[in-house]
C-alpha cells in the first residue's frame, strides 16, 4: 500500500481554496499510483482557525465542500482515498460543540475516522475554547488487495504524552499506551505544530519514544507555512519500527513523498547540518513571505536607520519579497550621525533595493515651534525624542498607505520587553519581524550572515555572495536610538549581554526575584528590569503581530494584565 504524504501550506479559513489544493494533490498522488493521501491537522481549514470556528455558515460550507470533494475524487481518481482534517459539529445543545476530527474521503463518500483526544491550552493554543475531547483512540481498517491494514491515527498533541520529554505534565489520557494494545501496523500523527527552535528536537524524541514503545513505524506529518504570528516549519518525517528516521521532508516548504508500507524502510536519512541561525532566518523569511501573500501585500517598506535591527529586517524582507519589491527610507534628524546615514545607504546599495532619504529636521522644528507658539510649552527630554520617532512612524504609515506596502516593524524582543520603544513611532507596522529575538541574538544572526557558513542561505535567497551582507560598520556600531546628543542604549538600559540573560530567565523560565538572586544577579537590577517590563505592558498590547520563534514570545502567548500592582 502506498501512502502519499502531503506537507501543505493551507490558507486559514479558505475552505474552497484549500479544497482545490487537496484535489490537485489527489491528482498528483494518483499519478504516483498512491492508495491513500494523508494531510495535516485541520487541513481543510488551515491552523489555527480560531473564532472562525464559531461561524455556523463556515461549518455548513465545509460539509458541502466535503460532498463535492468526495464526488470529484471518486470520479477522477477511482478508489484513491484522502485523509484530511475538519471541524466536526456535535448535534447537542452543549458547548463547545465541535470535535477536531479527521475524515476519510473515499469512493464518493466521507466519514469521520478519528477525533483529537488531548486538547492543548498552553502557549498559543486554546483548543478547549472550540473543541471537545474524544475519549478513545482511533484505528482505520484499510483494505488493500489481500490485506486489511490497521492504521493508528493520532492528531498532533495526542503524541505528546511523555513527561520526561515534553515537560508539561502527564496527561490523564495516553493514546500511545492505548494504541499499543490494538495491534496496529503503523501510526499516523497528523499535526499543525508551530515552529520553535526547542520543538524540533522534542518532536523527534517524542516520536522516537512512541515508535520504540509501539515497535511500529510512525509517519509524522506537519503543516507548513506562516499564519499570522505563527510559523509552521513542516519537517515531516517517517520513523521505522526501531525509531530510526527513514525519510525527512523539507523544512519551511511544501513537500510530498510516496511511502510504500510494504517495503522495508529501515535505511537511515543523511541530513545536511543546518545551523540554528539558518533555521531562524528560514523561519522569518517564510513568516514574512506568507503574512504578506495571505494579507494581499506585494511590497515591503522599512525605516532603515543604519542600525543593526533595521538592517536585519531589511535583509529578511529582501529574501522574502525580492530586491525589486523592498522599499527602504532613511529619515535622519540632527542627532543622526553621518556614519548612520552612510551605512543605511550602503546596505541598500548592497542589497540592490529601492532607497530614499527624507530628513525630518524641518518637521521636528515645526512641532517645537508650534508647541511654543500655541501652547507656550517647550517640548524637550523624552517627549522630544518620542516626537522624532512618531514623525518617522507617521511618514512610514503614510507611504505604506499610499503605495500599499507592508510596513515592517524593526523592534527586537529586548526593547519590547523593557519598553525601550515608542508607541505610534518605531512600533508602527503591520508585522514585527524580529520581535521574538533578543538583541544579542540579532548580533549573532548578523555575524552569521556575514560569514562563509551562510553561503548556502545567501544563494537560496539571492543575497550578495561576493561581499558582506550587513557589513562590519553596522556590526561594530554601539546600539543607539540616535534621538538625542551622543545617545547610547546603555544610557537607559543595562548592556544587552547582561539584560538579555535576565530577560530570558524572567520571560522564558518564569523566574521570580528570589530565583534570580540565587542565580547571582543583582537584586536592584532585577527589580529595575521587572518594573520596566510591567510598565511597558500597555505598549505591547498595541504592538503589531510578532513572529513567534521561542517557547514564550511577547505576542499572543504573553497574557499579562496591564493594570497590576507594582513590585
Output DSSP code: residue 374.
H
Distance of CA 484 to the CA centre of its chain: 35
For the beta sheet containing 431-432, the strands, ordered from the edge strand earlier in sequence to the opposite edge, are 354-357, 326-330, 299-303, 405-409, 431-432
Is 446 one of the catalytic residues? no
What ranges make up the beta strands (E) of 252-325?
Answer: 255-260, 299-303
CB 159 within 8 Å of CB 207: yes
Cell 561576493, residue located:
466
Q: Is 452 a catalytic residue?
A: no
**546 near 432, Cβ under 8 Å?**
yes
Say if CB 2 and CB 32 are below 8 A apart. yes
Alpha-carbon dihedral angle through residues 474, 479, 482, 483, given to the nearest 10 degrees: 150
* Annotated active-site residue in 21, 116, 245, 548: 116
Give the cell for residue 341: 546615514
What SS3 class is residue 16?
helix
Grid coordinates of 389: 520617532
Direct distance between the N- and C-terminal alpha carbons of the chain, in angstroms, rounded to an integer: 63
Catalytic residue among 41, 123, 415, 482: 41
Angle 276-295/308-321 helices, nearest 10 degrees?
Answer: 60
289 catalytic? Reply is no
Q: Phi and psi dihedrals of 302, rounded to 5?
A: -135, 135
C-beta of residue 206 within 8 angstroms of C-beta of residue 237: no
Catalytic residue chosen out of the listed positions 88, 127, 142, 156 = 156
Q: 91: which DSSP letter?
A: -
Q: Tell me which residues are annotated as active site.
A: 41, 116, 156
Amino acid at each position: 500500500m502506498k501512502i502519499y504524504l502531503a506537507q501543505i501550506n493551507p490558507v486559514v479559513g479558505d475552505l474552497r481554496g484549500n479544497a482545490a489544493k487537496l484535489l490537485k494533490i489527489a491528482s498528483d498522488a494518483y499519478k504516483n499510483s498512491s492508495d491513500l493521501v494523508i494531510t495535516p491537522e485541520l487541513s481543510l481549514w488551515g491552523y489555527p482557525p480560531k473564532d472562525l470556528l464559531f461561524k455556523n455558515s463556515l461549518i455548513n460550507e465545509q460539509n458541502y465542500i466535503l460532498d463535492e470533494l468526495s464526488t470529484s475524487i471518486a470520479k477522477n481518481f477511482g478508489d484513491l482515498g484522502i485523509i484530511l482534517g475538519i471541524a466536526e459539529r456535535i448535534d447537542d445543545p452543549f458547548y463547545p460543540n465541535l470535535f477536531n476530527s479527521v475524515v476519510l474521503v473515499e469512493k464518493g463518500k466521507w466519514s469521520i475516522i478519528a477525533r483529537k483526544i488531548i486538547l492543548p491550552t498552553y502557549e498559543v493554543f486554546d483548543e478547549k475554547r472550540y473543541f471537545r475531547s474524544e475519549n478513545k483512540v482511533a484505528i482505520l481498517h484499510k483494505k488493500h488487495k489481500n490485506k486489511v491494514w490497521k492504521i493508528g491515527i493520532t492528531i498532533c498533541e495526542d503524541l505528546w504524552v511523555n513527561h520526561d520529554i515534553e515537560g508539561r505534565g502527564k496527561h490523564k489520557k495516553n493514546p500511545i499506551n492505548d494504541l499499543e494494545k490494538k495491534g496496529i501496523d503503523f501510526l499516523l500523527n497528523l499535526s499543525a505544530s508551530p515552529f520553535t527552535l526547542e520543538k524540533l528536537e522534542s518532536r523527534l524524541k517524542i516520536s522516537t519514544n512512541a515508535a520504540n514503545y509501539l515497535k511500529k513505524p510512525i509517519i509524522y506529518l506537519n503543516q507548513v507555512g506562516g499564519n499570522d504570528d505563527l510559523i509552521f516549519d513542516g519537517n515531516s518525517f517517517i520513523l521505522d519500527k526501531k525509531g530510526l528516521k527513514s525519510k525527512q521532508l523539507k523544512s519551511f516548504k511544501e513537500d510530498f513523498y510516496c511511502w510504500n508500507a510494504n517495503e522495508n524502510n529501515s535505511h537511515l536519512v543523511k541530513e545536511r547540518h543546518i545551523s540554528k541561525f539558518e533555521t531562524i532566518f528560514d523561519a522569518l523569511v517564510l513568516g514574512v513571505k506568507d503574512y504578506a501573500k495571505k494579507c494581499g501585500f506585494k511590497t515591503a517598506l522599512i525605516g532603515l536607520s543604519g542600525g543593526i535591527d533595521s538592517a536585519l529586517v531589511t535583509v529578511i524582507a529582501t529574501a522574502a519579497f525580492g530586491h525589486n519589491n523592498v522599499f527602504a527610507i532613511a529619515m535622519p534628524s540632527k542627532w543622526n550621525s553621518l556614519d548612520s546615514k552612510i551605512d543605511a545607504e550602503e546596505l541598500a546599495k548592497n542589497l540592490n533595493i529601492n532607497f530614499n532619504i527624507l530628513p525630518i529636521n524641518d518637521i521636528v522644528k515645526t512641532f517645537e515651534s508650534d508647541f511654543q507658539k500655541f501652547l507656550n510649552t517647550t517640548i524637550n527630554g523624552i517627549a522630544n525624542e518620542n516626537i522624532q520617532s512618531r514623525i518617522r512612524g507617521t511618514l512610514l504609515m503614510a507611504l505604506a498607505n499610499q503605495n500599499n506596502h507592508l510596513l515592517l516593524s524593526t523592534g527586537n524582543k529586548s526593547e519590547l520587553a523593557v519598553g525601550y520603544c515608542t508607541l505610534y513611532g518605531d512600533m508602527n507596522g503591520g508585522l514585527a519581524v524580529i520581535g521574538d529575538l533578543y538583541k544579542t541574538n540579532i548580533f549573532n544572526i548578523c555575524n552569521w550572515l556575514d560569514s562563509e557558513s551562510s553561503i548556502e542561505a545567501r544563494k537560496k535567497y539571492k543575497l550578495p555572495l561576493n561581499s558582506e551582507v550587513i557589513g562590519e560598520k553596522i556590526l561594530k556600531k554601539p546600539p543607539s536610538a540616535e534621538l538625542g546628543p551622543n545617545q547610547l542604549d546603555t544610557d537607559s538600559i543595562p548592556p544587552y549581554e547582561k539584560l538579555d540573560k535576565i530577560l530570558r530567565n524572567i520571560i522564558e523560565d518564569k523566574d521570580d526575584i528570589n530565583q534570580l538572586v540565587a542565580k547571582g544577579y543583582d537584586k536592584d537590577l532585577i527589580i529595575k528590569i521587572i518594573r520596566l517590563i510591567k510598565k511597558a505592558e500597555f505598549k505591547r498590547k498595541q504592538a503589531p503581530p510578532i513572529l513567534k520563534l521561542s517557547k514564550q514570545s511577547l505576542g499572543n502567548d504573553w497574557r499579562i494584565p496591564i493594570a497590576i500592582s507594582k513590585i
